[in-house]
Structure 1
Amino acid sequence: MNFSSFSEFMAMGQHGLYVWSAYGISIAVLLLNVGLPWLAKRRYLQDEARRMRREEKR
């Protein structure tokens, strides 16, 4: 496809809403696939560090 202006590119031949929402959802899913395990690992390590400190105090 050849677009003569940026607004035509954004409209994608009247399919812009579908195209850009699909890109947005895909990027959101990819970010969640990276972010959620990273947060879970961080939370796990914090919990383990807390548990180790509690056990050292005993």
Structure 2
Amino acid sequence: MTPAFSSWHDFFAMGGYAFYVWLAVAFTLLPLLALLTHTLLAHRRLLKEIQQRQQRARRIRRAQRKNSIPPAVAGE
């Protein structure tokens, strides 16, 4: 099997079509990287929101338990 390009220069030149080839590569990889970044940030934001909701629910439950104790029992 013989290599398609004889040197790195030939590889990067892509037979005279380098501008179009590398532009297509960039237009493919940049949106993929943007999508990956957006997904990771959204995941992090979602986990933080879930944690905040759980903490709020715990505070509400504690407050409800505290307020549901009858005054006669609390004073004894």
> Which residue number in structure 2 is paired with residue 41 of structure 1?
43
Q: Distance in 1 between matches of 2:6 and 2:46?
A: 52
Does residue 16 in structure 1 map to residue 3 in structure 2? Answer: no
Cα distance, 1:9 vs structure 2: 1.2
Q: Which has the higher contact order (CA 8 A, sep 6+)?
A: 1
Q: Distance in 2 between matches of 1:48 and 1:31?
A: 26
Task: Please list every run of 5 or more consecutive structure 1 residues that lacks an aligned counterpart in the other structure.
Answer: none
Q: Distance in 2 between matches of 1:57 and 1:4?
A: 69
Does residue 30 in structure 1 map to residue 32 in structure 2? Answer: yes
Cα distance, 1:29 vs structure 2: 1.9
Residues 20-47 of structure 1: per-residue CA shift (max 9 Å, x gap): 1211221222223333223212201101
Task: Please report the TM-score for the alignment, with normalisation by the length of structure 2.
Answer: 0.57
Task: Please report the TM-score for the alignment, with normalisation by the length of structure 1.
Answer: 0.69
Indicate the structure (1 or 2) with the bigger Cα radius of gyration: 2
Q: Distance in 2 between matches of 1:37 and 1:6?
A: 35
Task: Please list every run of 5 or more consecutive structure 2 residues that lacks an aligned counterpart in the other structure.
Answer: 61-76
Q: Percentage identity across aligned positions?
A: 35
